[in-house]
Amino acid sequence: MEGRGGRVELRVKAQPRARRAGLQGLFEAADGPRLRVAVNEAPEDGRASRAVCAAVAAALGMPPSRVVVTQGASSREKTLRLEGDPALLVGRLEALARNPGTGKCRPTAPKGFEPAPRPGGS
């Protein structure tokens, strides 16, 4: 993962034709860490690549048009370009890495943060 100039480069490993779609967490590949993304689509005519982009965009809460495959369009190992604020995107990606399998980024509260008490005492 590398952020610069309004974009982040994210390295992923696609798992097409998966039974359960979603982001599966980080794993160590021979060339460094990659985010594993499982999709239901078959790797035909770019369908799996489009599904990977859509899954990453949905998990990060951004439009799919802001996620583009820059390398590996016909490979399971891909590099995606995420357009947006690099600091925000990196923070969301780190949250996803802490919560593998959920496909959602759960922002962590800052240190010292105390949630407001709920009405009714619970």
pLDDT tens digit sequence for 77-104: 999 999 998 888 888 888 877 776 555 4
Q: CATH number for the 2-98 domain, one of 3.40.50.80, 3.50.40.10, 2.40.50.100, 3.30.1200.10? A: 3.30.1200.10
Placement of tokens 């802001």 in the chain: 66
Please report, as a single letter, which amino acid is at residue 47: R
Per residue in 4-24, pLDDT (tens digit) is 678 899 999 999 999 988 888
Predicted local distance difference test score (pLDDT) of residue 111: 45
Q: Does residue 116 carry a pLDDT above 80?
A: no
Q: Would you call 20 exposed, middle or buried from its count of C-beta atoms within 10 A (0-12, 13-18, 19+)?
A: exposed
Please report, as a single letter, which amino acid is at residue 76: R
Nearest to 56 by CA among 46, 44, 45, 68: 68
- pTM of the complete model: 0.76
Q: Given pLDDT bands bounded at 50, 70 and 90, which one contains residue 113? A: very low
| Spatial contact of 60 and 86, defined as CB atoms under 8 Å apart | no
